[in-house]
A and B are shown apart, each in its own frame.
Chain A
Amino acid sequence: MADLIKRTAAELADLLAAGEVSSVEVTQAHLDRIAAVDGAVHAFLEVDVEGALRTAADVDARRAAGDTLPPLAGVPIAVKDVFVTKGIVTTCGSKILEGWVPPYDSTVVHRLRAAGLPILGKTNMDEFAMGSSTEHSAYGPTHNPWDLDRIPGGSGGGSSAAVAAYEAPLAVGTDTGGSIRQPGAVTGTVGVKPTYGGVSRYGMIALASSLDQAGPVTRTVLDAALLHETIAGHDPRDSTSIDAPVPPVVEAVRNADLSGLRVGVVRELGGEGYQPGVEARFDDALKLITSAGAEIVEVSCPHFTYGLATYYLILPGEASSNLARFDAMRYGLRIFPDGVAEPTAEQVMSATREAGFGQEVKRRIILGTYALSSGYWDAYYGSAQKVRTLIRRDFDTAFEQVDVLVSPTAPTTAFPIGAKIDDPLAMYLNDIATIPASLAGMPGLSLPSGLADEDGLPAGIQVLAPAMADDRLYRVAAALEAILVEQWGGPLLAQAPELEVAR
């Protein structure tokens, strides 16, 4: 089976269940692919050959023994380096954690292991998930498989690139302001940010606690749903995780149907700043949605305009506090200051943070420290929380009129590596359409909408639903995906250039 790596996770699961292929074969095929192309893509920071094959062999043995296995057992997966993995180096893309081997598993990883998914390795990311291009990784950028000179999105560019380059059928990412959805859009893959609290944050290295959410990174909507159900659900170790049944997302994919659905187009998420090719593919998608029996309604969410500003006060505030623990006292990098014979703990902390954090991380720590300072709190952090409430109300009002909202996922297609690295504000604008749902805790999904005319690169359409109505995302996305794939004559990724294989 030469094309094992091109199979979807659902197909692999069927082949494995039918005994037509072993998990060891599937896992090895992906490890071989990683060996062949990751030198060029650099999606992985760490590949765990031994661990992945051990899990695969174990799953094969259990299957041979007649055990009933979870749906994705034996299907390998790539894990964003933001998740702590017992025994596997976890750096979060930062020098400050270089070589750190966690003594425990995050809940997401624990659930993946329990479900029998071999973990191929840890994927690259912007340092501490701060960025939209993966260029802020301390270990070098990841390259977009569609064009190796371009960014794969961020912060989870490693996960989306790994899936787009067939290095893994599945990956998990985290989305704070768009870090799953925006990379999905620019790599022609599917990315889902579940409802805040839908997936446990325990063991996810925190960027902004009130925004961070883990979710699936896949090539198809069905694969995302299968992975969603594997990782979601209440976790007593995360008191912000929702203690309610996981929305029936796999069932929603199987019963995908657009007829009678009211689909809202958010007036504020489009227009100026959006690339024409991205908007054209979005408009095409709206026509398809209409022709499939749904009603398109234009809605206004006036406070979304303040989303980016709000986000860049709340996120740095929380991040400045979350990242305080990296101080060289208990784990990670420890740097002694130059020219100090007997440095104090404070001097070591300072020297370590100076050497261990990258520019973007420092920028946000400084922003956040300022926003939380007494005297500025009301003007910045406090005001941002109020606007956040207004944005949530905009969603509530919109969802009184429509079942789901749609917009382009990202305003542009993948830009060249280096193009925005020195312009933080331009970089931040990548997340303009994904941030509102993050601030409000609503679920969002990005699906490939086609290739932009001007550059031939993938664009994405974003679907948003009310909290804990994640199944609606899947219902809409699966129906639209079916129509688009039919129109394209196959998955969009089939149009990506073949990567040169290293030998």
Chain B
Amino acid sequence: MTVTTLVSYEDAVAEYDPVLGLEVHVELNTTSKMFCGCSTEFGAEPNTQVCPVCLGLPGALPVANERGVESAIRIGLALNCSIAEWCRFARKNYFYPDMPKNFQTSQYDEPIAFDGWTEVDVDGTTYRIEIERAHMEEDTGKSLHVGGATGRIHGAEHSLLDYNRAGVPLIEIVTKPIEGTGAMAPEVARAYVTHLRELMAALGVSDVRMEQGSLRCDANVSLRPDSQSEYGLRTETKNVNSLRSVERALRYEICRQATLLSEGGRVTQETRHWHEDTGVTTPGRSKEQAEDYRYFPEPDLVPVAPSREWVEALRATLPEPPSQRRSRLQEAWGFSDLEMRDAAAAGAVPLIEATVEAGAAPQSARKWWTGELARRANADGVELMELPITPAQVAEVQDLIDAGRLNDKLARQVIDGVLAWEGSPEEVVRTRGLEVVSDDAALGAAVDQAIADNPDVADKIRAGKTAAAGALIGVVMKQMRGQADAARVRELILERLGAD
């Protein structure tokens, strides 16, 4: 393998026009699987949520989950799609051990929802994304490859199969080619996935946890010399399991393809695999080896023919559109445009909303989620939503501050504790002993000591230079190991030195 230095991203997008295509799989949060009654709960013991149907035992037959169909229609409507009056499931035939029937029940040329659109904002610019289709299908089981270095199949000694996920309902949402995003392509892609995640959360149809795989993105990209040329050959990058990876993987692919093209080479149309750790993609299946899926209408299931009354009834259950919702929240919270945009970009809007609902002031909620917590998430390379702290816990921390029981520094330590799974904020305060000392006697003694130890500073304050109080506050805070309310300390110093 030759090692080539990739052209820089700036050069790549200066030279070529990227065209995107995004396929997002949304795992529905129905209580039972798409074609049987098994539970869909995440994280159960392997092969405990299975039955003859989802194990593909001889003779077993599927029955479509009405709730799954309902969610598919609601997703379609929220993406401004047309809803099919009549459509069928189809079998996608290929052999793989984690697929019990060796065909996936999916939809082919008759998707339940098609021809929609949605809009995303990136830095104040609105991009319209055309939706090709949203269709229903079932998830596969999971393979665990044991003994290999990377957990991938190559080099593994043996593999274990867990069919708990087999048959869990998925909706695959496919965009039409996204053109005209230029250098912003990776950010638009990220914004689109972020937007879908918010939309799915607002619809209540999915847990949308990317790290648990309930929202997965396959990112297609091709390059062409300019916006008037034909599309170039594309690659499809899989294993893009976080919002950050969507952006990073596309950025990498654009640079890689640009390097190939600028050296006079050709892009191979293929599936590629994103490596989060090394930040590169490697080839998977190439088009020449691609399977012929031999799709045909699933004869074990009756066609889905949602009545127009049902579709309209479902339309009435849609949450308000995200852009409208953002305007409403911005007004209610009194955020500036910039504050709102930052909150949206950080994926913090639903979190702020929940924190406000839990009792925090909007500005306090915003500061936590777009400040301290955003920094933590960024440092850990995870999404805000994935941090192990709930909006209610953030509101609780803020409440402790407002009650004077925590100062900012202690609050950050409480957050540390919560993120380290030490319990609720109240529990962390107790076990770590973080509460500010509000006992005036103890505080008074520390203040008296500080005055006695620093007579010249004390004199300055007595003389009216109250700004010098800062030095004494620092001494007292150090003495109290930070567990004091600085405002109260200042009060006590000034009171004692008769300078108030």
Q: Enumerate chain A interface residues (CB-CB to B < 8 A).
A: 83-84, 90, 92, 97, 100, 102-104, 106, 201-206, 208-210, 236-240, 317-318, 320-321, 324-327, 329-331, 345-346, 349, 369, 372-374, 377, 381
Contact = CB atoms under 8 A, between A and B. Distances in A.
Contacts of B302: 239-240
A206 B60 CA distance: 9
A90 B58 CA distance: 10
Interface string B241-254: 00000000000000
B63 A239 contact: yes
B55 A330 contact: yes
B10 to A, nearest CB: 41
A209 B103 contact: no
Interface stretch (B25-33, B94-102, B121-129, B190-198): B94-102
Given A327-B97, A373-B292, A318 B61 contact: no
Contacts of A321: 91, 93, 103, 294, 296
B102 A238 contact: no
B161 interface: yes
12 contacts: A239-B63, A240-B300, A318-B296, A320-B93, A324-B95, A325-B102, A326-B58, A330-B55, A331-B57, A349-B97, A372-B295, A377-B296
B64 interface: yes
- Chain B interface, >50% SS class: loop
Nearest to B161: A329
Contacts of A381: 296
A372 B296 CA distance: 7
Interface of B: 52, 55-64, 91, 93, 95, 97, 100-103, 159, 161, 292, 294-296, 299-302
Given A327-B102, A372-B294, A84 B61 contact: no
Contacts of B97: 327, 329, 345, 349
Contacts of B294: 320-321, 369, 372-374, 377
Given A329-B97, A345-B159, A374-B292, A204 B59 contact: yes
Contacts of A97: 58
A92 B55 CA distance: 18
- Chain A interface, >50% SS class: loop
A391 B93 CA distance: 28
A386 to B, nearest CB: 13
Given A103-B52, A104-B52, A372-B93, A325 B61 contact: no
Contacts of B296: 317-318, 321, 372, 377, 381
A394 B311 CA distance: 36
A210 B93 CA distance: 17
Q: Identify the 5 closest CB pairs spanning chains A and B, nearest first.
A: A324-B102, A209-B299, A372-B294, A210-B299, A203-B59
B58 A236 contact: no
Nearest to B301: A239
Nearest to B296: A372
A239 B61 contact: yes
B159 A206 contact: no
B295 to A, nearest CB: 8
A237 B57 CA distance: 14
B56 A238 contact: no
Contact of B95 (A210, A236, A346): A346
Contacts of A90: 58
A318 B102 contact: no
B299 A330 contact: no
A331 B296 CA distance: 26
Contacts of A206: 58-59, 300
Contacts of A236: 63
Contact of A104 (B57, B95, B292): B57
A84 B102 contact: no
A331 B292 CA distance: 26
A238 B64 CA distance: 10
B92 to A, nearest CB: 10
Interface centre among B64, B294, B302 (most CB of A within 10 A): B294
Interface centre among B55, B57, B100, B295 (most CB of A within 10 A): B57
A324 B62 contact: no
A330 B292 CA distance: 24
A104 B302 CA distance: 24
Contacts of B101: 324-325
B166 to A, nearest CB: 11
Nearest to B163: A330
A210 B300 CA distance: 7
A325 B56 contact: yes
A318 B299 contact: yes
Nearest to B37: A237
Contacts of A106: 59
Given A202-B59, A325-B101, 14 more contacts: A84-B59, A103-B57, A203-B60, A238-B61, A239-B300, A240-B299, A318-B296, A325-B56, A325-B102, A327-B97, A330-B57, A330-B100, A345-B97, A374-B294
Interface centre among B55, B60, B101 (most CB of A within 10 A): B60
A317 B60 CA distance: 19
Contacts of A331: 57-58
Contacts of A104: 52, 57, 60
Contacts of B292: 373-374
Contacts of A100: 58
Nearest to B300: A209
A205 B63 contact: no
Contact of B58 (A317, A325, A329): A325
A338 to B, nearest CB: 20
Contacts of B62: 239
Contacts of B91: 321
B61 A237 contact: yes
Interface centre among B62, B97, B100, B299 (most CB of A within 10 A): B299
Contacts of B100: 325, 330
B322 to A, nearest CB: 36
Contacts of A373: 292, 294
Contacts of A330: 55-57, 100
A345 B294 CA distance: 22
B97 to A, nearest CB: 5
Contacts of A374: 292, 294
Nearest to A353: B95
A202 B61 contact: yes
A30 to B, nearest CB: 26
Nearest to B63: A239
A238 B159 CA distance: 33
A102 B63 contact: no
A341 to B, nearest CB: 12
Contacts of A317: 296
Contacts of B63: 236-239
A349 B95 contact: yes
Given A239-B301, A369-B294, A102 B103 contact: no
B59 to A, nearest CB: 4
A201 B58 contact: no
Contacts of B60: 104, 202-203
Nearest to A350: B95
B95 A205 contact: no
A200 to B, nearest CB: 8
Nearest to B92: A321
Contacts of A237: 61, 63
Nearest to A318: B299
A205 B52 CA distance: 12
